[in-house]
Amino acid sequence: MLLLIPLFPLVGFLVNAFVGRRLPKTVSGWTACLAMFASLVAAAAAAWQIFSAPVEARLVEQTVYTWIASGDFEIPLTLRLDPLGTVMALVVTGIGFLIHVYSLAYMHEETEREYARYFSYMNLFAFFMLVLVLGANFLVMFVGWEGVGLCSYLLIGFWFKKQSANDAGKKAFVVNRVGDFAFIVGMMLLFREFGTLDFREVALHAATLSPEVSFGLISLTTLLFFIGATGKSAQIPLYVWLPDAMEGPTPVSALIHAATMVTAGVYMIGRNAELFSLAPDTLQIVAVVGVVTALFAGTIGLVQNDIKRVLAYSTVSQLGFMFLAMGVGAFSAGIFHLYTHAFFKALMFLGSGAVIHALHGEQDMRRMGGLRRALPITYWTFLAGALAIVGFPLLSGFFSKDEILFRTFYGGHELLWTIGALTSLLTAIYMFRLVYMTFHGEPRYEVAGAHGHDAHGHAHGAHLHDAPPSMAIPLVLLAVGSILAGYVGVPHALGGHNRIETFLEPSFHPAAHARVLTLGPGEGGEFTVAHGTETAADEAGHAAASHTAADAHAAEEAKTRLELTLMSVSVLIALAGIGIATFFFLRRPDRAAAMAASMPGLHRLLLNKYYVDEAYDAAIVRPVQRLSEDVLWKGVDVRVVDGAVNGAGSLVSGTASLLRLLQTGSVRAYAAWLFVGVLALVGYYLVW
């Protein structure tokens, strides 16, 4: 029963939304966690079905009811699980569950009402995210797409008394709506062209078309969807909301703004790989936007001092990597990175949360330092996450990021590879800058006493508490994940089988694996397997493989050599980045400051995030406001239209007596008149 997967969090939401404020915190918190756990179990059970089925039968479907039917436009609420959906559902429920547990302790200082409100939003988010992932057509996905945006809005602005949090929430919603506009137009175009919004039908239809040689309808459609993705997944030009979104509670940043929601755009492209493959122009744009965003966000991340902002820019940057993968057609590499990134980025956000928690809300790294002794669990787990993200050999990020870079280079995109490699260097530098500024060096923080209650003013770690169990356990589990998650995708060059790629591949080419497996409504878990026929595409694939064996072998060896070479380069880059960070931010922090001082213009430019927010404000926000207020409202409406009307009005009121009738207060008399008239009419009719 696929429906159970999203249903549990929905029930959890309803419970906490309606009665949560009257429940003790333990009950409301554990209700939410339990809902997530049940969802995880349901997802795992469904995943097990997928894993144990033969490759061509890895598809489970359930139609709940027909949602919208209007003429030839019919949208059933259908949920569908395939290998890609399986990976996503496990990430959402698994990491989601851990973050829920973490939140039990992190949010404990809130009142009962707020605590329940927090968990109700979190459950609602999980519900919508699962609808997004499991939805079998664009419109159902859009329900999830908008729903997670709503929850993101609510959770960014969770502390609604804080103006900056509210502004950040609204900014996120509105910027996302710009993307949604493109998404909606894309859906309309797609329906007009294909007569369906079902992913599978679109893919099967697309498989019969040949790739567009010039920019055409499919390029336009996919480009529109990609614009939608730049909103949700924070890419240029719509990335501006994500750094501000850090106003929300830190577990929210971990779940929504790192591990799950922001990857929806990447998932959406993966879901429609067949369609995007037909539009090389769009893919080119996706790859370029991705890699440029990666570099751009990386440079900003170098100089930020707010620990969460550094992580936020890092997320934007890593999402750029995922889009790069999608753009060069390495769909499984992109999803692989999405999956490993979910572990280590969630881990680092939760780690930063533990630091902030310990320091009573301090987020500025300039007022941290030396925390590794006071917070050993946080430190070691965080270190695992940092090493994973920079691509330290044999950790999860190493496998997924190298796969992307290798595919990029191998696909002939040397320039993109170069930018990607440069970004890797930046990643290593800013990540270890963060590690050193937070956990190493001299303590620069004031202990709780600074808040005024007690007299301890000394900066010693004695009063700091490391993560309590419900925070520590998720940290440790995620650290284990960050280290080991990559082993599902060990490349052939290292003697592995890249199992995740084999597993995911059918999702990207559904036409070549067309089998239908349906779960009829009301059949209660029983599902029937209907074997489709081998498609032409599959046969074509076999034919293409029939090169001479010797050629193939030689090419394979060259490929392996290239992959190993690139891998070594990546490792060197990561180590170099760590080295640079060690020199500037651990050994000689004065040199870092001196360097910043020697390039004040550049430093200020980066610190102010290239002034993009200011530019948007001046170029779009303010002109639109001025146009609306001064030109349209006070100009057209008040002066032009009403001016004419009032002229006519004063003419009338000079002669008409309606006004005076009202003012004499003889309403009752008039009403009576009215009655006479009505009765006369009705009477006339009756008598006749």
**Which residue among 72, 414, 526, 590 contacts another protein (CB under 8 A)?**
72
Give min distance, CB of 148 to another protein, in A.
Answer: 11
- CA 341 centroid distance within chain: 12
Whether residue 226 contacts residue 275, with contact meaning beta carbons closer than 8 Å, is answered with: no
Residues recorded for the chain:
688
Q: Is 517 helix (H, G, I), strand (E, B) or coil?
A: strand
Write the Ramachandran bin of 234: left for phi over 0, alpha for psi from -120 to 50, otherwise beta: left
Q: Which is nearer to another protein, 175 or 291 (CB)?
A: 175
Q: Is 441 helix (H, G, I), strand (E, B) or coil?
A: coil
Taking the C-alpha atoms of residue 387 and residue 396, their distance in angstroms, rounded to an integer, is 9
**Which residue among 51, 633, 676, 683 contacts another protein (CB under 8 A)?**
633
Based on the shown chain and the rule CB under 8 A, indicate whether residue 681 belongs to the binding site for another protein. Answer: yes
Q: Which is nearer to another protein, 130 or 333 (CB)?
A: 130
Residues pairing with 69 in the sheet: 74
Based on the shown chain and the rule CB under 8 A, indicate whether residue 678 belongs to the binding site for another protein. Answer: yes
From the list 330-338, 379-387, 412-420, 667-675, the region that binds another protein by CB under 8 A is 667-675
**Which residue among 614, 620, 629, 676 contacts another protein (CB under 8 A)?**
629
If you count DSSP H runs as helices and E runs as strands, how many of each does the chain have, helices first?
30, 4
Based on the shown chain and the rule CB under 8 A, indicate whether residue 113 belongs to the binding site for another protein. Answer: yes
Give min distance, CB of 130 to another protein, in A.
Answer: 14
Q: 211 — phi, psi (to 5°)?
A: -55, 145
Taking the C-alpha atoms of residue 390 and residue 641, their distance in angstroms, rounded to an integer, is 62
Based on the shown chain and the rule CB under 8 A, indicate whether residue 215 belongs to the binding site for another protein. Answer: no
Taking the C-alpha atoms of residue 13 and residue 131, their distance in angstroms, rounded to an integer, is 14
Give min distance, CB of 169 to another protein, in A.
Answer: 8
Q: Which is nearer to another protein, 549 or 648 (CB)?
A: 648
Q: Looking only at residues 383 through 422 of this chain, which bind another protein when binding is defined by CB under 8 A?
A: none
**Which residue among 642, 664, 676, 680 contacts another protein (CB under 8 A)?**
642
Whether residue 305 contacts residue 438, with contact meaning beta carbons closer than 8 Å, is answered with: no
Give min distance, CB of 549 to another protein, in A.
Answer: 42
Looking up tokens 């001196």 gives 594
Give min distance, CB of 181 to another protein, in A.
Answer: 5
Based on the shown chain and the rule CB under 8 A, indicate whether residue 557 belongs to the binding site for another protein. Answer: no
Looking up tokens 């395939």 gives 82
Looking up tokens 């597993």 gives 503
**Which residue among 645, 664, 680, 683 contacts another protein (CB under 8 A)?**
645
Q: Which is nearer to another protein, 528 or 646 (CB)?
A: 646
Based on the shown chain and the rule CB under 8 A, indicate whether residue 22 belongs to the binding site for another protein. Answer: no
What is the Cα gyration radius of the chain? 29
Give min distance, CB of 166 to another protein, in A.
Answer: 5
Looking up tokens 């499991």 gives 134
Count of residues binding another protein (CB under 8 A)? 73
**Which residue among 412, 530, 682, 683 contacts another protein (CB under 8 A)?**
682
Whether residue 388 contacts residue 395, with contact meaning beta carbons closer than 8 Å, is answered with: yes
Whether residue 103 contacts residue 95, with contact meaning beta carbons closer than 8 Å, is answered with: no
Taking alpha carbons only, the member of 67, 90, 91 closest to residue 78 is: 67
Based on the shown chain and the rule CB under 8 A, indicate whether residue 67 belongs to the binding site for another protein. Answer: yes
Taking alpha carbons only, the member of 340, 362, 327 closest to residue 250 is: 362
Q: Which is nearer to another protein, 45 or 674 (CB)?
A: 674
Q: Which is nearer to another protein, 415 or 679 (CB)?
A: 679
Q: Which is nearer to another protein, 213 or 648 (CB)?
A: 648
From the list 8-16, 83-91, 350-358, 648-656, the region that binds another protein by CB under 8 A is 648-656
Q: Which is nearer to another protein, 457 or 522 (CB)?
A: 522
From the list 60-68, 446-454, 526-534, 569-577, the region that binds another protein by CB under 8 A is 60-68
Q: Which is nearer to another protein, 22 or 591 (CB)?
A: 22
Based on the shown chain and the rule CB under 8 A, indicate whether residue 463 belongs to the binding site for another protein. Answer: no
Taking alpha carbons only, the member of 382, 371, 378 closest to residue 462 is: 371
Give min distance, CB of 173 to another protein, in A.
Answer: 6
Whether residue 7 contacts residue 23, with contact meaning beta carbons closer than 8 Å, is answered with: no
Sign for the CA dihedral angle at 16, 21, 22, 26 comes to positive
**Which residue among 572, 602, 615, 627 contacts another protein (CB under 8 A)?**
627
Q: Which is nearer to another protein, 244 or 402 (CB)?
A: 244
Q: Which amino acid would we find at residue 133?
A: V
Q: Looking only at residues 154 through 183 of this chain, which bind another protein when binding is defined by CB under 8 A?
A: 157, 160-163, 166-167, 169-170, 173-174, 177-178, 180-181
Q: Which is nearer to another protein, 72 or 590 (CB)?
A: 72
Whether residue 469 contacts residue 476, with contact meaning beta carbons closer than 8 Å, is answered with: no
Give min distance, CB of 420 to another protein, in A.
Answer: 32
Q: How many CB atoms lie within 10 A of CB 620?
A: 11
Based on the shown chain and the rule CB under 8 A, indicate whether residue 30 belongs to the binding site for another protein. Answer: no
- CA 514 centroid distance within chain: 29
Q: Looking only at residues 120 through 159 of this chain, which bind another protein when binding is defined by CB under 8 A?
A: 139, 142-143, 146-147, 150, 153, 157
Q: Looking only at residues 184 through 213 of this chain, which bind another protein when binding is defined by CB under 8 A?
A: 184-185, 188-189, 191-196
The separation between the first and the last C-alpha atoms of the chain, rounded to the nearest angstrom, is 66
**Which residue among 554, 618, 667, 680 contacts another protein (CB under 8 A)?**
667
Residue 684 sits at the vertex; the CA angle it makes with 682 and 688, to the nearest 5 degrees, is 120
Q: Is 65 helix (H, G, I), strand (E, B) or coil?
A: strand
Q: What HEC string does 254-270 produce?
A: HHHHHHCHHHHHHHHHH
Q: Which is nearer to another protein, 602 or 641 (CB)?
A: 641
Based on the shown chain and the rule CB under 8 A, indicate whether residue 617 belongs to the binding site for another protein. Answer: no
Give min distance, CB of 136 to another protein, in A.
Answer: 15
Q: Which is nearer to another protein, 238 or 259 (CB)?
A: 238
